[in-house]
Amino acid sequence: MEPETTNAADARRQLEQRRTQAQAEQDNLALLAEVRAVLSEVNPDLKWRTPEPAVESGSLCKKPFDRVDGAGTAILTSGGAFGAISDADWPRAWAAVKAVAAKRGYGDENVLKDEPGGHQVSVYDKDGSELSVGTGVNTTATVYGACYLEDPSADGPSTTGAGAGWREAGARGVWSCPDTGSRLGRMRELDGW
């Protein structure tokens, strides 16, 4: 049992060196807004499905952070756009996206698909967040967030009757209990869902 405790403590110390989850979400939503803008400059006919980028979902972290209370990750989306970036315009579009992402610490490019009519490329930041941009029939930009600690000052006690100790984690709508680290599934047990 001792090595597991040490690993969780080491993992927590690593996460404490990072920005908070709220800060990461704010930064990555701003990044996605900039990505949308540069893609729209390349193809002004793109029609974004949502007025602005948003947090799509959240979840617990993978190893080695899976046992750290208050740690989570989020998926953020640009909202997706109807319309594609043409093959002729793709190099210019991707260069513009990389320039915007580099200003926010993203690099380490990984090309998943680069063929006529379809492109999917990712870049990563130092914490492991991935910005993935693709185009084919339509165009997408998504950030798969790294693991971060929740900002304890961002979430107060629940006022929605979820039960003692439970709180709602902001825009993600994920419920968590700081005492146990348990998330939505445990709340379902308590509320009889």
**Of the candidates 150, 167, 183, which is a domain's last residue?**
150
- Residue given tokens 């490329």 in the structure block: 121
- Mean pLDDT for the chain overall: 79
For position 144, what pLDDT does the model report? 95
Using a 10 angstrom Cβ sphere, with 0-12 exposed, 13-18 middle and 19 or more buried, the burial of residue 162 is middle
- List, for residues 63-115, the tens digit of each pLDDT value: 999 888 889 999 999 999 999 999 999 999 999 999 999 999 999 999 999 99
Q: Identify whether residues 55 and 97 lie together within a single domain.
A: yes
Q: What is the mean pLDDT of residues 29-54?
A: 96
Q: Identify whether residues 42 and 132 lie together within a single domain.
A: yes
Q: What is the mean pLDDT of residues 55-64?
A: 90
Structural domain for 183, as ranges: 155-193
Distance, in Å, from the CA atom of 107 to the CA atom of 125, rounded to the nearest integer, reads 6
Q: Identify whether residues 22 and 60 lie together within a single domain.
A: yes
Q: What is the mean pLDDT of residues 2-22?
A: 77
Label residue 187 by pLDDT band (50, 70, 90): very low
Concatenate the DSSP letters of all residues of 81-114 into one string. EES---TTTHHHHHHHHHHHHHTTT-EEEEEEEE
Structure-model confidence comparison of residues 173 and 187, the more confident one? 173
**High-pLDDT (> 70) share of the chain, %:** 75
User: Could you give the C-alpha distances from 28 to 40, 85, 129, 135, in angstroms and in order?
Assistant: 18, 22, 9, 20
Contact between 166 and 111 (Cβ < 8 Å):
no
**High-pLDDT (> 90) share of the chain, %:** 56
Q: Identify whether residues 138 and 168 lie together within a single domain.
A: no
pTM: 0.75
Distance, in Å, from the CA atom of 170 to the CA atom of 62, rounded to the nearest integer, reads 21
- List, for residues 129-157, the tens digit of each pLDDT value: 999 999 999 999 999 999 998 865 544 33
For position 152, what pLDDT does the model report? 55
Nearest to 11 by CA among 49, 72, 67: 67
Whether the predicted pLDDT of 168 surpasses 90: no
Q: Identify whether residues 104 and 191 lie together within a single domain.
A: no
Instruction: Give the chain's domain count.
Output: 2
Q: Identify whether residues 107 and 170 lie together within a single domain.
A: no
